[in-house]
Amino acid sequence: MCARCHSRRGEIHKDYVHGQEVGNDYRVSLLDRSFYSPDGQIKAEDYE
């Protein structure tokens, strides 16, 4: 539920349907070293 707003993602289409898996509507990004430390801490302001 939270990933729709609180994740780094790319929209697949604009026809969002509430309640379905986030992967059906968005390409959710994996953790990236440019935004996160190896222990998972956020390096700068980011979605939390």
Residues in the chain, total: 48
Please determine, for residue 46, whether its predicted confidence score (pLDDT) is greater than 70. Answer: no
Average pLDDT over residues 18-44: 83
Q: Which of 13, 35, 27, 22 is nearest to 48 (CA)?
A: 35
The rounded distance, in Å, linking the Cα atoms of 6 and 46 is 9
> pTM of whole model > 0.75?
no
CB 7 within 8 A of CB 23: no
The rounded distance, in Å, linking the Cα atoms of 42 and 18 is 28
Per-residue pLDDT of 6-25, as tens digits, reads 778 889 998 888 888 888 99
CB 26 within 8 A of CB 3: yes
